[in-house]
Amino acid sequence: MSEIVEELPTYPMSRGRCPFDPPPELDRLQDTEPLSRVKLWDGSTPWMVTRYDHSRQLLADPRISSDPRNDGFPFSNAAQSQNRGQFKAFIVRDDPEHAAQRRLVTADFMIKRVEAMRPRIQEITDGLIDDILAGPKPVDLVETLALPLPSLVICELLGVPYADRSLFHRLGKTLLRRDNTPEQSRAASEELRAYLRDLVNRLDAEPDDALLSRLIVQQLRTGQMGIEDIVDMALLLLIAGHETTANMIALGTVALLEHPDQLAGLRDTDDPKVVANAVEELLRYLTIVHNGRRRVALDDIEIGGQLIRKGDGVIVATEIANRDAEAFPDPDKLDIHRVARHHVAFGYGVHQCLGQPLARVELQVVYSTLYRRIPTLALAVPLDEVPFKHDMAIYGVHALPVTW
């Protein structure tokens, strides 16, 4: 058995020459062994799921758990493993606990509410682009647009002071490192939780109309949630609410600049449906959550001629599922006009991204505004000097020097 384990591919894998394509090894597994085993940092050997249909089937299966307290859970690193159980938000819980907690905040992210925010999102975007055009060039698009836009939006939605952004940007980055140590992770988590605990106490004394205050009034004051539960929820919404979209804005821009015909198609349209379609295709093509969706089987599951046993770890690599030719013909081609809405970039099953309507509107606004207002936008460095986020759980770029 040990010889067999030695031969298994290790996960995560390195990307190949194209920075937008998933690792070639995942592509090979999808073609040859769509349900196979991989080796993790700790020597464990969870299942690797690479096909689109298998991915959807397993992520929607109630016998598959997202709770890292279950034996066999495939941890990303020692930090995730050692600090298991400390973080208690719905992303790491199963139903019915997951549903009960998630339903407290679903209304805030529903289509109608988010559409009502569109004018404000447009206003923020235009203001940031005004500042870019008024300033020197080249400029880092991550610092000036990709990160500030979703940060401002999630701060306003939650009721977190935007002035504190350097603190939660720094700590969020540490928590999302693929190689952080248990100590680094714990320290960052504790610092962020202390900040949020203090914020919750301040809002409890003087609530506003935003989401956190409503949770405090409706859940904390009535004793239905404790302060630590509110802090965990705030931490999840704050970090997930800006890190993901920020990376989609910056990485999407790199991808479009490298595909000028696709960029032109987006720049030259007035049709919001074309823009919305382009956003879905960029979500599919880039699939920035590139650390696998981590799960563990709670029961024996037969799938694709294999038997996943109770207690087996399962990693669903949605970045390669979104490149499955069975679901997306000519999958490695970026085509903003293709049908792509069935992608699994936001995951699938009951854990599918809560903030997806908000992410969609933010991306639609940015992609339909930036390239029209700065039509000559261009990379200020060669592509191979752009620092891609191979070291982070969410893919993107650390910085994006652009000029015009």
Query: Which residue lies nearer to other proteins by CB, 15 or 343?
Result: 343
Q: Assign 3-class secondary structure to the chain.
A: CHHHHHHCCECCCCCCCCCCCCCHHHHHHHHHCCEEECECCCCCCCEEECCHHHHHHHHCCCCEECCCCCCCCCCCCHHHHHCCCCCCCHHHCCCCHHHHHHCCCHHHHCHHHHHHCHHHHHHHHHHHHHHHHHCCCCEEHHHHHHCHHHHHHHHHHHCCCHHHHHHHHHHHHHHCECCCCHHHHHHHHHHHHHHHHHHHHHHHHCCCCCHHHHHHHHHHCCCCCCHHHHHHHHHHHHHHHHHHHHHHHHHHHHHHHCCHHHHHHHHCCCCHHHHHHHHHHHHHHHCCECCCEEEEECCCEEECCEEECCCCEEEECHHHHCCCCCCCCCCCCCCCCCCCCCCCCCCCCCCCCCCHHHHHHHHHHHHHHHHHHCCCCEECCCHHHCCECCCECECCECCCEEEC
- Does position 110 interact with other proteins (CB under 8 A)? The reply is yes
Least spacing, CB of residue 303 vs other proteins, in Å: 16
Least spacing, CB of residue 366 vs other proteins, in Å: 18
Point out which span in 165-173, 291-299, 338-346, 380-388 binds other proteins (CB under 8 A). Answer: 338-346
Among 148, 241, 347, 396, which residue interacts with other proteins (rule: CB under 8 A)?
Answer: 347
- Does position 349 interact with other proteins (CB under 8 A)? The reply is yes
- Does position 341 interact with other proteins (CB under 8 A)? The reply is yes
Among 348, 367, 371, 395, which residue interacts with other proteins (rule: CB under 8 A)?
Answer: 348
* Residue list 210-249, contact with other proteins (CB under 8 A): none
- Does position 328 interact with other proteins (CB under 8 A)? The reply is no
Query: Which residue lies nearer to other proteins by CB, 46 or 349?
Result: 349
* Residue list 48-67, contact with other proteins (CB under 8 A): 59-60
Among 137, 170, 202, 342, which residue interacts with other proteins (rule: CB under 8 A)?
Answer: 342
- Does position 357 interact with other proteins (CB under 8 A)? The reply is yes
Q: Which positions lie near other proteins, rule CB under 8 A?
A: 59-60, 99, 102-103, 106-112, 341-342, 346-350, 352-354, 356-357
